[in-house]
Amino acid sequence: MSAPSLRAHLVVDRPGFRLDAELAVQRGEVLALLGPNGAGKSTALRALAGLAPMSAGGVVLEGEDITTTPTERRPIGMVFQDYLLFGHMSAVENVAFGPRCHGVDARRARREAAALLDRMGLREHAAARPATLSGGQAQRVALARALAVRPRLLLLDEPLSALDAHTRLTVRSHLRRHLRDFDGATVVVTHDPLDAMVLADKVTVIEDGAVVQYGAPADVARRPRTEYVARLVGLNLYRGNAERSEVRVEAGEARVALHEETEGDVFVAFPPRAVALYRERPDGSPRNVWRMTIDGIERFGDQVRVHLDGELPMSADITPAALADLSLSPGDAVWAGVKATEVESYPA
Amino acid sequence: MTPVPSRQGAARERAPRVGAGRFPWLLVVPAVVGIAFLVLPFAGLLIRAPWSTLGTRLLMPEIRGALLLSLGTATLATAIALVLGVPLAWLLARAAFPGRRVVRALVTVPMVIPPVVGGVALLLALGRRGVVGQYLDAWFGYTMPFTPAAVVAAQVFVAMPFLVISVEGALRGADRRYEEAAATLGATRVTVFRRITLPMVLPGVAAGAVLCWARALGEFGATITFAGNFPGRTQTMPIAVYLAMQTDPESAIVLSLVLLLVSLLILVSLRERWVGAL
């Protein structure tokens, strides 16, 4: 494997907060920084851009140490959360601004900016002021502006969060196409797992200023390592100690049976739809049954999500028909069962 | 038996009583007196104006000279204040340097001291025997006091702080993330200031320039102390009004009307576009 295009160890200290994260991105690869609000994702992006002063660590981009390079001399392009298009310039002037700053003469900068907007499907909006553009159009102008300086590192801060749900869908696929075409390294900050899954080749999960998980989106989705990621991808997650084919869960006394043998500290995860609920303790089939209390019931798509409290707190997705058959309501005692083959276990 | 009114019903019942409540005489009477006090003098000016001879008086060379001198010096003073004051405002708003608060306090001093004191201070600094003035005289043979340049200097001294404070406020209110966005696109700090910051704070700059120009136009105390009263050279409109009042009150009224008209014209012409930021 070739040396990564971007290698960074980002350390940013602020009162009451410390970011300490290592990132590596290959050429042409898109890395998503996923994490809850206040986890330090945007701070990491600002540190990469040189906008947040680092207290230690370093940033190496294509073999060049840019740790102390001022923002304006870094070969980067950045798309900000609310785009920050310059209101006193037209769309094409916004896009031409970067090349102009890099010494490209006015006529050529404008011609290339117009061509770039054309490729973004914004030909007829080139002369428009940013205030007259829709959210999706503004997002594309912001992307064009960032790409116009031919960056080696493209940074996107929550590129879709300012859009409504419908626009987000089309802009996301548009963005995905342009990120595929971009041959430098890309880092995109998001708190939406769907953005990460669709846009990124790799995902780094940041919580409380530290990297808690890194991997391909599918791996992260299948094998979450923190409560936050598990909730994002919709899995029940527990940490425990395995002895042969049984895991003793860390918090509490519950035991979870596996369909394979393993040893040591492990995570166990299973999806809510794998949970079956019973009024009476079932005989035989599932080896995993726990005595639980219903904490809450809510609609979840065309299913019903039942929150269960007890020796192994979990969510269960059942059909509305099953809910009616069992006539469940909050406070009721139930048995929850999961087949051992539905339980995924992996080393902690 | 009447039902107990719901909370909403009670609120609806009470609401009109607030509007129709006791008339707030205690506030309205002083307010009306205040308005009258501000407006009556202008009414007096208009009532007593010698309308029949207005045209001929306006063409009198001493009035025309004073008016042109005032307009010219106030405009030049505003231009100088812009060139010096905008960077100064940027420094105060954006740069972190030791003693910034002291500098900021010093900048506002000319706003609060009596202008005559400013004139005396200017004489002591730039006069023929002044701290700096003696060298200007010795090395270049240049003496500033009692010249049109002294008029401009006095106006810049008293009026520039208004511009600085206005622009500094605008700079503090501007969204700095746009400047960051420009930096990621490769803009140097000078480019960022010129192409991003300045256009963003333009309303504040315009408002500050208007305030500065109006203050310079009305300058009296520092001017007469530092620049004197030479018709055609340093006799500005306010000084001409004051002197005319002693000998020829009708001319003073005409001069005052002209000053009033010029001020109103500026205010009205800029109101729509910029003065909202004042």
Do the domain assignments include residue A330?
yes
Whether the Cβ atoms of residue B198 and residue A97 lie closer than 8 Å to each other? no
- Determine if residue A264 is left, alpha or beta; phi over 0 gives left, psi from -120 to 50 gives alpha, anything else beta: left
pLDDT at position A106 is 93
A322 with A337, same domain: the answer is: yes
**Pick from B107, B75, B278, B89: which is nearest to B197 by CA?**
B89
**Shortest CB distance from B184 goes to which of A71, A86, A102?**
A71
Do the domain assignments include residue A203?
yes
Q: What is the pLDDT of residues B22-41, one digit of tens each?
A: 788 899 999 999 999 999 99
Q: What is the ipTM of this complex?
A: 0.82
Do the domain assignments include residue A185?
yes
Within 13 Å of residue B78, how many CA atoms lie on the same side as its CB? 20
Q: Indicate yes or no: CB of A49 within 8 angstroms of CB of B188.
A: no
- Structurally, how many domains does chain A consist of? 2
pLDDT at position A192 is 87
Q: Which residues contact B148 (CB under 8 A, 6 or more apart)?
A: B69, B73, B227, B233, B234
A243 with A266, same domain: the answer is: yes
The answer on pLDDT for B1 being more than 80 is no
Q: Indicate yes or no: CB of A71 within 8 angstroms of CB of B180.
A: yes
Q: Which of B184, B189, B196, B205 to mutate to test the interface with A (most CBs of A within 10 A)?
A: B184
Last residue of a domain, one of A176, A196, A229: A229
pLDDT band at B9 (very low <50, low <70, confident <90, very high): very low
pLDDT at position A285 is 57
* Residue positions counted in chain A: 348
pLDDT at position B13 is 47
Domain extent, residue A163, equals 6-229
A195 with A217, same domain: the answer is: yes
d(CA B198, CA A270) in angstroms, rounded, equals 57
A246 with A222, same domain: the answer is: no
Q: pTM surpassing 0.90? A: no
Other Cβ atoms closer than 10 A to B178: 19
pLDDT at position A286 is 58
CA dihedral A158, A159, A160, A163 (to 10 degrees): 110
B230 touches chain A (CB under 8 A): no
- Among B13-27, B78-92, B241-255, where is mean pLDDT lowest? B13-27
Q: Indicate yes or no: CB of A73 within 8 angstroms of CB of B186.
A: yes
A263 with A115, same domain: the answer is: no
A108 with A178, same domain: the answer is: yes
Do the domain assignments include residue A22?
yes
A225 with A239, same domain: the answer is: no
Identify the H or E element spanning A142: helix A135-147
Q: What is the pLDDT of residues A233-254, one digit of tens each?
A: 889 999 998 888 888 888 777 8
Last residue of a domain, one of A229, A264, A290: A229
Do the domain assignments include residue A1?
no
Average pLDDT over residues B263-277: 67
CA A192, A34, A45, A171 torsion-angle sign: negative
Q: Which of B185, B197, B201, B205 to mutate to test the interface with A (most CBs of A within 10 A)?
A: B185
pLDDT band at B209 (very low <50, low <70, confident <90, very high): very high
Do the domain assignments include residue A94?
yes
Segments in chain A below pLDDT 50: none
**Pick from A345, A24, A27, A347: which is nearest to A215 by CA?**
A24
pLDDT at position A50 is 94
**Pick from A73, A83, A79: which is nearest to A155 by CA?**
A79
Distance of CA B132 to the CA centre of its chain: 27
A300 with A223, same domain: the answer is: no
Owner of token pair 């005032």: B70
A212 with A339, same domain: the answer is: no
pLDDT band at B273 (very low <50, low <70, confident <90, very high): low
Q: What is the CATH number of the domain that holds A58?
A: 3.40.50.300
Average pLDDT over residues B138-143: 89
pLDDT band at B7 (very low <50, low <70, confident <90, very high): very low
pLDDT at position B2 is 45
Do the domain assignments include residue A74?
yes
Owner of token pair 């256009």: B199
Domains of chain B: 49-277 (1.10.3720.10)
A164 with A50, same domain: the answer is: yes
Other Cβ atoms closer than 10 A to A89: 17
A210 with A239, same domain: the answer is: no
Q: What does the block give as tokens for A320?
A: 């509305």
Question: Diameter of chain B by CA atoms?
Answer: 101
Last residue of a domain, one of A229, A253, A275: A229
Q: What is the CATH number of the domain that holds A260?
A: 2.40.50.100
Q: What does the block give as tokens for A17?
A: 């907060």
Search chain B and give the residue with CA nearest A70: B183
The answer on pLDDT for B12 being more than 60 is no
* Residue positions counted in chain B: 278
A69 with A203, same domain: the answer is: yes
Strands A185-190 and A30-34 turn out to be: parallel
Alpha-carbon distance A78 to nearest alpha carbon in chain B (angstroms): 6
Whether the Cβ atoms of residue B163 and residue B204 lie closer than 8 Å to each other? no
Q: Indicate yes or no: CB of B180 within 8 angstroms of CB of A73.
A: no
